[in-house]
Amino acid sequence: MTSKTMRPDDRKYFESHEWAKQDGDAVIIGITDFAVAALSNGNDSDLVYCDLPEPGRELAQGETFGEIESVKAVSDLNSPVAGEVLEINHKIEEHLEILARDPWNEGWMIRVKPTSKNWASEKLMSAAEYEKFLEAQKH
């Protein structure tokens, strides 16, 4: 975290409220606190089901890689980065309350091998830009 923004600036943000962070040669992907809050109704147990892809699947940027169900909505999970799914976080499938507690680290969803090493420059926002994006959505 930095003093300028509320959200971690060690990663990039996507317009549908997912984040992507470099992890060695791979990129890990999750959803933001805003996405979790938007789907929830104030309880850690509001998220009830999450469907994640099989490793090996090729994803285009923006492609739906999974779905998440809260007590009152099913939403798509979209990949901020093009690449191949290497690993999924099985832990959150059984313990979705992790997403409410720590969407930034423990709550990562998938690990992908990016198609491009320059993935971070493609249609993604910095933490500060994401803050502005959220602020603009309020109006």
Closest CA to 110 of 62, 55, 39: 55
The CA-atom distances, in angstroms, between 80 and each of 9, 21, 47, 56, 102 are: 16, 10, 21, 17, 19
User: Is residue 36 a contact partner of residue 47, using CB atoms and an 8 Å limit?
Assistant: yes
The neighbour count for residue 69, using CB atoms within 10 Å, is 16
Q: Smallest distance, Å, CB 37 to another protein? A: 6
User: Does 79 engage in binding with another protein (CB under 8 A)?
Assistant: no
> With respect to another protein, which residue has the nearer C-beta, 24 or 42?
42
> What is the smallest separation between the CB atom of 82 and another protein, expressed in angstroms?
17
Total length of the chain: 139
> Could you say whether residue 60 binds another protein (CB under 8 A)?
no
Q: Which stretch binds another protein (CB under 8 A): 31-39, 87-95, 105-113, 119-127?
A: 31-39
State the nearest-atom distance from the C-beta of 76 to another protein, in Å.
5
**Residue nearer to another protein on the CB measure, 78 or 89:** 78
Q: Is 32 in the site for another protein (CB under 8 A)?
A: no
* 14: nearest Cα among 24, 27, 1: 27
Residues lying near another protein in the complex (CB under 8 A) = 16, 37-42, 48-49, 51, 67, 69-76, 137-138
